[in-house]
Amino acid sequence: MKPLNLHCVIFPHTCQYCPFITCHNRKTMSKTVFLLVIFHLLVDVRFFVYGVVDEYRRDDFPDEFVFGSGTSAYQVEGAVLEDGRSFSIWDTFAHSGVPSYHGKNGDIACDGYHKYKEDIQLIADTGLEAYRFSISWSRLIPSGRGSVNLKGLQFYNDFINRLLAHGIEPHVTLHHFDLPQILADEYGGWTSKKSVKDFVAYADVCFREFGDRVLHWTTFNEGNMFALGGYDYGFSPPGRCSFPFGFHCSKGNSTIEPYLVAHHSLLAHASAVRLYRQKYKAMQHGFVGMNILGFWFEPYTNTMEDVKAAQRASDFYSGWFLNPLVNGDYPEIMKRNAGNRIPTFTKLESESIKGSFDFLGINHYSTLYAKDNSISLEMDTRDVDADMAVRYTFGKGNEIIPPQFPVAPLGLQKLLNYVKEEYGNPPIYIHENGQQLPHNGTLMDTPRVEYLHAYIGALLDAVRNGSNTKGYFVWSFLDLFEVIDGYTSSYGLYYVDMDDKELTRYPKLSARWYADFLKGKNVSTIIPNYMVKDSFSSSR
Ligand SMILES: *[C@@H]1O[C@H](CO)[C@@H](O)[C@H](O)[C@H]1NC(C)=O
Ligand SMILES: *[C@@H]1O[C@H](CO)[C@@H](O)[C@H](O)[C@H]1NC(C)=O
Ligand SMILES: *[C@@H]1O[C@H](CO)[C@@H](O)[C@H](O)[C@H]1NC(C)=O
Ligand SMILES: *[C@@H]1O[C@H](CO)[C@@H](O)[C@H](O)[C@H]1NC(C)=O
């Protein structure tokens, strides 16, 4: 049996890539929206229920906790060849005919490069306390290394200054799937250790130029998904993979590249942190962290095999990065199953990675069931999925997946509790959390409001239960160019009509709901009656 690729489960509308599941065409998929209610009746209600249904408000969180929302450079800026910017690997990927992008790309996106003044006004009007965005490396340093593009520098300086003028904290990501293409051409990008040096030089420029005003730096967005999506499955930039894994890439090697790329990302991260601590920390007093995509995994059954599978899934997804960052090495199970395909850290590297963070960033969307698939370990050639030996489902005995995530806020509580107990309760920012819905023009995104209400409530429970979580960011502020499917789905608080030349931003219900919350109002929401409080729910 072939392993069931996680992304095929989560983004079934991209399933023309997914050889291991029945592929519904788009028309069928849109029908599944209407099957949603049926889905909710079919899934195991013991798990997919709200953990929290109470009213709560901003004041229930500590004062120093920050609430915000975010975007990333390639996804909103557009202006891809303007004012000296060069292509990143994401530009190249988007122009390579990715089926789920339907011929679209980020050439214009939300035109954020030109509309940033009005966007920052909107950010302020919404009442965001912090804003998460990323710097486009190829806009700041178009040759990948060397001279700084003054136009790019000016853009980000003005962006940061305007946020600060409105009292909004900038939280900046350095690498959001967008290495300069020129470095990929020169030496293979993140598959080569040469990337480490160039990344640190780029980080140095950012700390030097912006660090007097930016206190929160994230080196990598979703280090784990960048390695998996980009180099094993091949359906996120740079789109590399090899047969029989991934989705018909022309180049790549799914058996070794994901491990190499993760390894180099960790080394680059640790070197950037060392640089910050030696050169900038005393003057700037900022914080540097790394971000991963963090799911919560429930065992499919309570058999020992599935319980171990869920643990293995956590080790391969989160432990891959968290274990080196906290303990200085990869989880034992990864080293055992990947053998000599996973690189080893020298003693010096291990020491430099261990403790090289001031916070961890977690992007959390949903919970999955994990089912043992140990048979994949018998394959002669294995990728990360086969080494992990887990199959995933959103529900039980149900292959119909709606285009939106099941609302499983208890999974967030469990994940935060797991990080607390397993990794010494480090400071955490939930950098992304939000509901995927069709990008179809409706401003009544009630399912998103329900989702956010449930997850922020769960977060409050987790904080009250001792999690050291310090902030939360809704993904995303605007409808933007999504990494998996371009403009097909949306997560935005604000709707953007990509066919309208003006690219006007319209507030959705979720923007109004979040603004009410941020302005201190009690929030409660319509709780659909198929969501019932269950025995797992913790009480407040
Ligand atoms: C707000 O919610 C709290 C519970 O979190 C409740 O005790 C209080 O009465 C509510 N206040 C208003 C004005 O509704
Ligand atoms: C991937 O790399 C390994 C190790 O270098 C090699 O044995 C294998 O043949 C490569 N696979 C492909 C598809 O190139
Ligand atoms: C858009 O998607 C929502 C689901 O979020 C659905 O309820 C609505 O009917 C759709 N609207 C159109 C015009 O297709
Ligand atoms: C709350 O924290 C305790 C102690 O770490 C833990 O045993 C418990 O499972 C946590 N509850 C939740 C809902 O995470």
CB of 538 closer than 6 A to ligand 4? yes
Which of 437, 172, 467, 536 lies closest to 294, judged by CA? 467
Ligand of minimum distance to the alpha carbon of 413: 4
Q: Which atom of ligand 4 is nearest to the CA of 413?
A: 14
Q: Identify whether 432 is a catalytic site residue.
A: yes
The CATH fold assigned to 48-537 is TIM Barrel (3.20.20)
Cα angle value 211/217/222 (rounded, 5°): 155
Whether 235 and 98 have beta carbons less than 8 Å apart is answered as: yes
Cα separation, 393 vs 373, in Å, equals 12
Backbone angles phi, psi at 124, to 5 degrees: -70, -45
Pocket probe mutation, ligand 3, options 32, 33, 445, 495, max atoms within 8 Å of Cβ: 33
Tell which phi-psi region holds residue 454, choosing left (phi > 0), alpha (psi between -120 and 50) or beta.
alpha
Q: Where are the beta strands (DSSP E) in 266-399?
A: 287-293, 296-299, 359-363, 367-372, 390-393
Cα separation, 76 vs 139, in Å, equals 13
Residue extents of the structural domains in the chain: 48-537
CB of 522 closer than 6 A to ligand 1? yes
Q: Which atom of ligand 3 is nearest to the CA of 438?
A: 2
Residue 407 pLDDT exceeds 60: yes
Q: At what angle do helices 446-464 and 409-422 cross, to 10 degrees?
A: 30
Whether 13 and 488 have beta carbons less than 8 Å apart is answered as: yes
Amino acid at 513: W
- pLDDT of 10: 59
Q: Whose CA is nearest to atom 1 of ligand 1?
A: 522
CB of 449 closer than 6 A to ligand 3? no
Cα angle value 364/242/134 (rounded, 5°): 35
Cα-to-centroid distance, 59 and ligand 3 (Å): 34
Cα separation, 23 vs 272, in Å, equals 43
Residue 42 banded pLDDT, cuts 50, 70, 90: very low
pLDDT tens per residue, range 432-462:
999 999 999 999 999 999 999 999 999 999 9
The single residue of 169, 257, 298, 432 carrying the catalytic annotation is: 432
Q: At what angle do helices 150-165 and 194-210 cross, to 10 degrees?
A: 50
Residue 41 pLDDT exceeds 60: no
Cα-to-centroid distance, 21 and ligand 3 (Å): 26
Asked if the bond preceding 476 is cis, omega within 30° of 0, the reply is yes
Residue 247 banded pLDDT, cuts 50, 70, 90: confident
Residue 359 pLDDT exceeds 60: yes
Cα-to-centroid distance, 255 and ligand 2 (Å): 7
Ligand of minimum distance to the alpha carbon of 249: 2
Helix (H, G, I), strand (E, B) or coil at 461: helix
CB atoms within 10 A of CB 256: 20
Cα separation, 451 vs 406, in Å, equals 9
CB of 344 closer than 6 A to ligand 1? no
Residue with the bigger pLDDT between 46 and 447: it is 447
Q: Enter the tokens of residue 208.
A: 């030097």
Ligand of minimum distance to the alpha carbon of 416: 4
CB of 253 closer than 6 A to ligand 2? yes
CB of 56 closer than 6 A to ligand 1? yes
- pLDDT of 285: 98
Residue 38 pLDDT exceeds 90: no
Q: Say what the alpha-carbon torsion angle 437, 176, 262, 299 is, to the nearest 10 degrees.
A: -20
Cα-to-centroid distance, 442 and ligand 3 (Å): 6
CB of 413 closer than 6 A to ligand 4? yes
Backbone angles phi, psi at 435, to 5 degrees: -110, 130
- pLDDT of 476: 97
Which of 183, 207, 185, 178 lies closest to 194, judged by CA? 183
